[in-house]
């Protein structure tokens, strides 16, 4: 009897359903283990035929005279006389076409998320769910769920030729069905139950099943944003990014199920971001992940927004509301690695399907995760279609790619003997490089106006150069060098800073070699590194002054901007993924005034073209003086595209106010003090220049004019030419 069941599982569409039997008859077979009796009803005539039980496991069969295959319904009765009627899954032809399978195998089916996974379909007037999964080394694949009591004998799938794709259409199933794939391999007697790699929705962790979900129902209202985005030149526009972990920005509590829903986040987070003047939100990965402590970077459900905050349409609503409030949405995306969880991608069909088999290429020992096999067509297709999926279905404005350096180098974080050189003997991961280039080409081809951002921490050349010019094709790159150098400098006591002045100025040597984003991200406020405010030296007043100065220098320095949540009001403690931000600190004046300063910085940055138009060209920046290490003062000019459009910035990195300090300026006009981090309204001491200063025709520091300033302690000044004003105005 077991042999009969094994034959059905191996070839369900060859054994089950209706087919011709000889020249004058038909036979219908169905596996119905819960049935005591079963019948076939002819959907055309209503005629009904009793089926006979063929074995104790529940194989039923009926012979019918005639040669024309017809549509039918199965009817069963359980031992307690419960009657059920349903269409036979094994009476439906394949859904996926040969062309679909060709493109999947070729690695060029860039909308394969419309084909693989689970999809509500109507076939021949019958509604149900179509399931498809890629598992080329499987011997048997079944869909299991509540609908079949998780019985892997009930719905074995058909293998479509040599494609490695298995599929089945199960009539009568509806949205909300919970399911997994039961996979028995040809190798190692391997048997596992896997979540759907293309699943659109998942159970709330710690549960791991996929859920049938229609994600094409939401009606978007962001047409004007999407149209305007297509023609937007982001390189010459302000980009001020607020980096957020949705699970800990704000919570209902710190116990139980504390998360705000996507719709609650839309009500609270979006007005806050808009008020603060940020142009973009960057979300730590929202794709489904089982482990909160991974922050989302160890993804299982690459095609599913996490159910921690609600349903897929709720996340669509969140993005929609961002767009309707003029805020772009960037997602952290993690194609560098994936976790080993048994229900995930690892060893998916009893073989290393998504990952490399050789551990020297297939695992990240630092993170305990697996590395994608970028040289395999179907794996590349999985990742590229996933990137396009978020841009397509969720209207995401860009992807920040995590851990790019680990993808580029075969010897990343490995000792000699722990890695395999490429075919030329080098350490460049040629397959990953090719994947990255293709990713950047296709995302921009299909969705012009989006941004791709690399978290890349090495000196790899051409990260933001177009692919056709030999680069990787990213739009922007995180400037990790600037972050490391300046944080090291700012952490020094001011008396020692003069010995580390190069940490402050070195970034301008390479500032225009790539299109950089200056980042103070989540990575800088975890793992014992202390919060940004906690890194600053001095007493409490000096800590706040230092942080305002640091933020001001960041906004004056060429490059787009990113700040992690909590930094804008001065968290004292490190970020905790399982605790909300310390919003109560805003009841303390210094924290509230720091927040007001960041708001003012964003406002100035957006209003002044000289601070964002030429971030990536040396014509947008020039030093006035960077040599005064004794007094800890630097000064520079930022220029816009229009003639005469410029700002002058002066930084004092010591706690000593400087009176009568002369610097050179480009014009002989009145320079208005448009922002001073030492203003009382920002928590400073109120030292300044009475609104501005008049430039004198006295050449200084290579400039034809100069101004004499009072420079506040631990502060930055921004001066703007006001050609109609005079001193004292």
84, two tokens: 């059920």
Provide the pLDDT for residue 362: 85
| Average pLDDT rounded to a whole number, residues 700-726 | 94
Q: What is the DSSP letter of 56?
A: T
| Average pLDDT rounded to a whole number, residues 175-186 | 97
pLDDT digits over 376-429, tens only? 999 999 999 999 999 999 999 999 999 999 999 999 999 998 999 999 999 999
| Average pLDDT rounded to a whole number, residues 682-695 | 96
pLDDT digits over 567-599, tens only? 999 999 999 999 999 999 999 999 999 999 999
> Of all residues in the chain, what percent carry a pLDDT higher than 90?
91
| Average pLDDT rounded to a whole number, residues 50-70 | 92
Contact 650, 660 (CB under 8 A): no
pLDDT digits over 330-376, tens only? 999 999 999 999 999 999 999 999 999 998 998 888 889 999 999 99
Residue whose C-alpha is closest to residue 649's, from 713, 715, 722, 578: 715
Q: What are phi and psi of 602, to 5 degrees?
A: -60, -40
Provide the pLDDT for residue 672: 97
Provide the pLDDT for residue 726: 61
Burial of 257 (0-12, 13-18, 19+ CB in 10 A): exposed
Q: Strand locations in 135-194, DSSP E?
A: 138-145, 158-159, 165-171, 178-185, 191-194
State the catalytic residues: 402, 455
Strand partners, 184: 140, 191
d(CA 436, CA 375): 12
d(CA 566, CA 558): 23
Contact 713, 687 (CB under 8 A): yes
Show the domains of the chain with their CATH numbers: 2-89 (2.60.40.10), 98-211 (2.60.40.10), 223-443+477-610 (3.20.20.80), 616-722 (2.60.40.1180)
pLDDT digits over 462-487, tens only? 999 999 999 999 999 999 999 999 99
pLDDT digits over 645-682, tens only? 999 999 999 999 999 999 999 999 999 999 999 999 99
Helix, strand or coil, per DSSP, at residue 527: coil
Residue whose C-alpha is closest to residue 429's, from 503, 354, 476, 374: 374
Supply the mean pLDDT for the chain: 95
Provide the pLDDT for residue 5: 78
Contact 168, 140 (CB under 8 A): no
Q: Does the pLDDT value for residue 155 go beyond 90? A: yes
Other residues' Cβ atoms within 10 Å of the Cβ of residue 93: 9
Provide the pLDDT for residue 256: 61
Residue appearing with tokens 């390189």: 235
Q: Does the pLDDT value for residue 2 go beyond 70? A: no
Other residues' Cβ atoms within 10 Å of the Cβ of residue 700: 18
Alpha carbon 28 to its chain centroid, in Å, reads 49
pTM for this structure?
A: 0.95
71, two tokens: 């549509």
Provide the pLDDT for residue 254: 60
| Average pLDDT rounded to a whole number, residues 81-100 | 94
pLDDT digits over 228-286, tens only? 999 999 999 999 999 999 999 999 876 666 899 999 999 999 999 999 999 999 999 99
d(CA 698, CA 95): 81
Strand partners, 170: 129
pLDDT band, very low/low/confident/very high, at 99 (cuts 50, 70, 90): very high
pLDDT band, very low/low/confident/very high, at 727 (cuts 50, 70, 90): low
Going by C-beta distance under 8 Å and a sequence separation of 6 or more, which residues neighbour residue 535?
487, 490, 491, 529
Q: Does the pLDDT value for residue 3 go beyond 80? A: no
Contact 442, 388 (CB under 8 A): yes
Contact 58, 32 (CB under 8 A): yes
């Amino acid at each position: 009897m077991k042999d009969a069941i094994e034959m059905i599982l191996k070839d369900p569409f060859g054994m089950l359903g209706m087919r011709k039997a000889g020249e004058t008859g038909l036979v219908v077979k169905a596996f119905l283990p819960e049935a005591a009796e079963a019948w076939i009803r002819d959907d055309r005539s209503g005629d009904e035929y009793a089926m006979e039980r063929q074995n104790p496991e529940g194989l039923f069969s009926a012979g019918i005279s005639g040669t024309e295959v017809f549509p039918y319904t199965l009817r069963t009765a359980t031992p307690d006389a419960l009657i059920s009627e349903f269409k036979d899954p094994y009476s439906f032809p394949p859904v996926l076409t040969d062309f679909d399978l060709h493109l999947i195998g070729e690695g060029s089916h860039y909308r394969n998320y419309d084909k693989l996974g689970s999809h509500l379909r109507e076939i021949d007037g019958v509604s149900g769910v179509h399931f498809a999964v890629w598992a080329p080394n499987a011997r048997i694949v079944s869909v299991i769920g509540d609908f079949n009591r998780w019985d892997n004998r009930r719905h074995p799938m058909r293998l479509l030729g040599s494609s490695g794709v298995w599929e089945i259409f199960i009539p009568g199933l509806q949205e909300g069905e919970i399911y997994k794939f039961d996979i028995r391999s040809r190798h190692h007697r391997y048997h596992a139950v896997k979540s759907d790699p293309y699943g659109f929705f998942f159970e709330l962790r710690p549960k791991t099943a996929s859920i049938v979900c229609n994600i094409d129902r939401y009606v978007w209202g962001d047409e004007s944003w999407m149209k305007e985005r297509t023609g937007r030149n982001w390189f010459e526009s302000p980009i001020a990014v607020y980096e957020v972990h949705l699970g800990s920005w704000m919570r209902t509590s710190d116990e139980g199920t504390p998360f705000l829903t996507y719709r609650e986040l839309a009500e609270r987070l979006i007005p806050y971001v808009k008020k603060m003047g940020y142009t973009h939100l960057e979300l730590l990965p929202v794709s489904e992940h089982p482990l909160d402590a991974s922050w989302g970077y160890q993804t299982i459900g690459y095609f599913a927004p996490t159910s921690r905050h609600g349903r897929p349409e709720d996340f669509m609503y969140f993005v929609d509301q961002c767009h309707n409030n003029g805020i772009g949405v960037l997602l952290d995306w993690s194609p560098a690695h994936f976790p080993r969880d048994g229900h995930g991608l690892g060893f998916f069909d009893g073989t290393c399907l998504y990952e490399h088999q050789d551990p020297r290429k297939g695992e990240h020992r630092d993170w305990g995760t697996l590395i994608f096999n970028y040289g395999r067509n179907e794996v590349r297709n999985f990742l590229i279609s996933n990137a396009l999926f978020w841009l397509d279905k969720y209207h995401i404005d860009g992807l920040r790619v995590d851990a790019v350096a680990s993808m580029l180098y075969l010897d990343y974080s490995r000792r000699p003997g722990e890695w395999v050189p490429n075919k030329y003997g080098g350490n460049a991961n040629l397959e990953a490089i090719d994947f990255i280039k293709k990713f950047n080409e296709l995302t921009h081809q299909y969705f012009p106006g989006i941004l791709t951002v690399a978290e890349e921490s090495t000196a790899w050349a051409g990260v933001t150069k177009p692919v056709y010019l030999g680069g990787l094709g990213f739009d922007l790159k995180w400037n990790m060098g600037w972050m490391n150098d300046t944080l090291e400098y700012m952490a020094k006591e001011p008396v020692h800073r003069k010995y580390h002045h190069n940490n402050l100025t070195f970034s301008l040597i390479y500032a225009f070699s790539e299109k950089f984003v200056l980042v103070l991200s989540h990575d800088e406020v975890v793992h014992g590194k202390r919060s940004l405010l906690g890194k600053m030296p001095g007493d409490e007043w000096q800590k706040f002054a230092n942080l305002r100065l640091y933020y001001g220098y960041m906004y004056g320095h060429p490059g787009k901007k990113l700040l992690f949540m909590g930094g804008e009001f001065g968290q004292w403690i490190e970020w905790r993924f399982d605790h909300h931000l310390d919003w109560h600190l805003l009841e303390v004046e210094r924290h509230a005034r720091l927040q007001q300063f960041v708001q003012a910085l964003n406002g100035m940055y957006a209003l002044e073209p000289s601070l964002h138009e030429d971030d990536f060209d040396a014509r947008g920046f020039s030093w006035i003086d960077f040599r005064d290490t004794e007094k800890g003062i630097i000064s520079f000019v930022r220029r816009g595209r229009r003639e005469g459009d410029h700002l002058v910035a002066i930084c004092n990195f010591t706690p000593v106010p400087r009176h009568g300090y002369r610097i050179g300026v480009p014009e002989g006009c009145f320079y208005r003090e448009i922002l001073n981090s030492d203003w009382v309204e920002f928590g400073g001491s109120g030292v300044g220049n009475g609104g501005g200063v008049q430039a004198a025709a006295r050449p200084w520091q290579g400039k034809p004019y100069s101004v004499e300033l009072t420079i506040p302690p631990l502060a930055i000044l921004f001066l703007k030419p006001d050609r109609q004003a005079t001193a004292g105005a």
